[in-house]
Amino acid sequence: MRLALIFALRMFGLFIVLPIFVPFAHTLPDGGDVTLVGLAMGAYGLTQALLYIPYGLLSDRLGRKPLITIGLLIFAAGAFWAAHATTVHELVWARALQGAGAVSSVVVAMVSDVTREQVRTRAMAMVGMSIALTFAVSLVTAPLLYDYIGMGGVFYLITALALLAIGIVWSIPLVRLPNVVTHRQTMGLLLDVLRDKKQWQLNIGVFVLHAVQMAMWVVVPSRLIDSGLSHGDSALVYLTVIVLSMAAMVPLIIRAEKCGRMFEVMRASIVLIGVAQLVLAAHFGGVWVVCVALLLFFVGFNVLEATQPSLLSKISAPQAKGAAAGVYNTVQALGLFVGAIVGAWLNARSSSVVLFGACAVLVGFWLLNHQLNRAKNGHVVIEKTVQ
């Protein structure tokens, strides 16, 4: 699926820096400021959060392809700037420009445009699996690329892949939007999206999911190295864990979609993520325990990355899919930003135990909200959409 490939190429450009960004930033003149490094790591999330809704709204009026193209060009420009950055402050601005290419909401809306409702969860699962596989490949290749071409070379590669993605966008057959809406109608649809409690159930979930993910990556790479693993060994751990999690994801997605068990599968996935944080907070047993925690996390993460956008597309109005995806991805990006900043701050000012404990509490609130919404009959929408 070409849209999944576009997603994968862009996410590769974001994921590949995770295991090498902090060590590289510490080598720069102002790299001793841990909070500044965290800001540089998560700056793209803030600018994405500011622009996802405008991109989504404009795509509902002007079409998906032009907006995706503009976003990928901006993303490529940010990566090119980052390749030439000589201070962490420059990296902050370059990463912020990367984030300004906020096309994920438009791509998600385009997936909804080109798929039937009956197979949309599987289409989103394909996108989710492509992201997971991209994550695995990026974590494995990042240390090797860093050794051979340096951080500048990695950012040049990101630039090239973004330009390649533009070509793929225009190879996809044109999609006619359901109805082009006026500016006034667009704003009305946005207000409807913002008032929709069902959509906010999903928005809360994606915020917590990505805040926890980013906070984890402040600590996990260093913990593996402290356990005696080399960068190459760590890369192998990441690859093994993510491939196993993808294998576990498939039967869960099938059960959620075909058996009408979406709520239960989502709840189990949230629990897995929470347990992973508790295991990491306990900090016992060495590298094998970290591997188990990562496996639990990625099983839950992959399932939720597929199911939540699919549900969003089903409960949003056809003319407002771009707006709904824009709000959803805005909240997601805020989670990335908050997770990076707060995670770096907690780890520097306190300890990783406090960091993972805070993540576990956050996931606990998410699980409680998920359960309470079922008690208020919110589960009816979830279950009916998969039948």
What is the model's pLDDT at position 163? 93
DSSP state, residue 173: P
What is the mean pLDDT for each group of 10 consecutive residues in the chain (387 residues)? 75 82 84 82 85 80 85 94 93 93 79 64 65 74 85 93 90 62 64 82 91 88 80 79 83 74 87 95 82 92 81 73 77 88 86 92 91 60 46
CA dihedral 159, 164, 166, 169 (to 10 degrees): -140
- Cα gap 284→321, rounded to integer Å: 45
Q: Over 2-47, what HEC string results? A: HHHHHHHHHHHHHHCCHHHHHHHHHCCCCCCCHHHHHHHHHHHHHH
What is the model's pLDDT at position 274? 95
All structural domains of the chain, each given as residue ranges with its CATH number in brackets, are 2-171+186-385 (1.20.1250.20)
- Measured CA distances, 358 to 202, 224, 332, 353 (Å): 21, 21, 18, 9
Residue written as token pair 């993520």: 273
What is the model's pLDDT at position 218? 81
The answer to whether the Cα torsion of 301, 36, 347, 367 is positive or negative is: negative
What is the model's pLDDT at position 91? 92
What is the model's pLDDT at position 81? 95
Residue 212: name the closest of 307, 145, 301 by CA.
301
Q: Which token pair is 61? A: 């009026």
What is the model's pLDDT at position 121? 58
pTM of the model: 0.76
Residue 55: name the closest of 42, 44, 68, 73 by CA.
68
